[in-house]
Amino acid sequence: MSAVLILGGTAEARALAAELHDAGRPVVSSLAGRVARPRLPAGEVRIGGFGGPDRLAAWLRDHEIAAVVDATHPFAARISASAAHAAPAAGVPLVRLERPGWTARPGDDWHRVATLDDAAATVARLGARRVFLTSGRQGLPAFAGLDAPWFLIRCVDPPDCALPPRSEVLLDRGPYGLDGERALLDRHAIDVLVTKDSGGDHTAPKLDAARERGIPVVVVDRPPRPGVPTVTTVAAAVEWLQ
């Protein structure tokens, strides 16, 4: 039986790999390798990029892959674009598994922006004094020029890039609970939260805590995605594969 390639790294990707593996379906999960100690899914795992869409197409043909599930992070735009080109070129079916984005609820004070640079400008416009920055370490240079606010930067691995001059790094990995997020906001006197619209339940409690505290939230919208078939649940992805 030919294998399914899961472009992964997300909780949904791991859940899908586990379900396919338990059902006896060969599965290969591909991780970008940006996290030092990733949570490994069931089945075969490869780490690192493919070298562009043409090489990915060749890899799909060489390994006789039956189908591709793009279950990467909503902000991993490059690999999604590569898969959208490579899968049709190799004659392999492709589906995107993407969790729905977050929706503002009554009481939220959200400021939606298109880019991290826009988020930094919004932080300055809001006159933030103490910012909880949860947008990932790769986007930290966008905030490096802000010297007025103090930043609490939460990420999985230590950042190796320019940081805001007044900042503290908190190394932690979700999922996070509401009580913990409340305590974090209170302990550090946070007055603005910055996040990407990652969606899902694992990191959503910070939004609930910010709503309770009346804290403005700067939300970076997801980048545009290629027009490929898309499902929003692991069950729907399994059904598509069947």
The alpha carbon dihedral of 81, 82, 84, 85 has a sign of positive
Q: Which pTM was predicted?
A: 0.89
CATH class as words, domain 4-100+224-241:
alpha beta
Is residue 203 a contact partner of residue 175, using CB atoms and an 8 Å limit?
Answer: yes
Cα separation of the two ends of the chain:
13
Distance CA 169, CA 218 (A): 19
CATH superfamily of the domain spanning 110-220: NAD(P)-binding Rossmann-like Domain (3.40.50.720)
pLDDT at residue 35 in the model: 65
Contact present, 95 and 70 (Cβ < 8 Å): yes
- What pLDDT score does 38 carry? 76
Quick one: which of 217, 239, 229, 215 has its CA closest to 134?
217
SS3 state at 137: helix
- Residue 169 CB coordination number (10 Å): 16
Among candidate residues 156, 15, 8, 18, the one with its CA nearest the CA of residue 72: 8
Please name every residue paired with 219 in a beta bridge, in sequence order, or none if there are none. Answer: 112, 195
Q: Tell me which H or E stretch contains 80.
A: helix 77-90
The pLDDT of residue 1: 72
Cα separation, 137 vs 159, whole angstroms: 6
Contact 5, 82 (CB under 8 A): no
CATH 3.40.50.720 domain span(s) along the chain: 4-100+224-241, 110-220
Phi/psi class of residue 9: alpha, beta or left (left: φ > 0; alpha: ψ in -120 to 50)? left
Do 34 and 156 form a contact (C-beta atoms < 8 A)? no
pLDDT tens, the chain, 242 aa long: 799 999 998 999 999 999 999 999 999 999 986 666 778 899 999 998 899 999 999 999 999 999 999 999 999 999 999 999 999 999 999 999 999 999 999 999 999 999 999 999 999 999 999 999 999 888 999 999 999 999 999 999 899 999 999 999 999 988 899 999 999 999 999 999 999 999 988 899 999 999 999 999 999 999 988 899 999 999 999 999 99
